[in-house]
Amino acid sequence: MLVLKRADLKTQLITNPDVLQAFNQDHALEEFVFSLYRGDFREFFKSLALMETEMRGDMLLHAHYGYYVKEMKIKAYDQLLSTYISLNLSYMAEQFGVTEEYLENDVYNIISSRRLSYKIDKISGKIVNVQPNRRSHMLDDIFKHGDVLLNRIQKLSRVINI
């Protein structure tokens, strides 16, 4: 679920007969998958909390539960934010069933780790979509590689002159 896109989530999980049979045995898992697919983020966060509790108690998954929970939150935040140019923090907090302060801190930490390309406008209380400028990234890479190349050429010219 972590690596699947939303379209693949339906084809590989939701309509898969083996997975549907597993859902009949574990309704919490079913709600977890379906709530993310439907975009019911309040229920998804509740289900994620249940999954976190189960993973903490599992001997094999305990070491990885923090990473999994963080990545699933990023996936959910991005699923909601990617459909808008900007989104009010209050609306987003309401959708996820958390406080604005919690959401702002959580999203801030994810943005600062460069996992989401958004920025938080505290004055207007919005999260704004920031599309990365590919040309500026390419230009920065050219400058970095150019500097490295110039430094190597200078070192070689010093060696040749000696």
| Tens digit of each residue's pLDDT (9 = 90 or more) over 52-71 | 999 999 999 999 999 999 99
Q: What pLDDT, in 10s, does the model give residues 78-89?
A: 999 988 989 999
Burial class of residue 51 in the structure, from the number of CB atoms within 10 Å of its CB (0-12 exposed, 13-18 middle, 19+ buried): buried
Rounded to two decimals, what is the model's pTM?
0.76
* Domain extent listing, the chain: 1-83, 85-131, 133-162
Please choose, from the candidates 128, 130, 77, 75, the residue with its C-alpha nearest in 3D space to the C-alpha of residue 102: 77
Question: If 0-12 CB within 10 Å is exposed, 13-18 middle and 19+ buried, where does residue 27 land?
Answer: exposed
- Topology at the third CATH level for domain 85-131: Arc Repressor Mutant, subunit A (1.10.10)
Q: In this model, does residue 149 exceed pLDDT 80?
A: yes
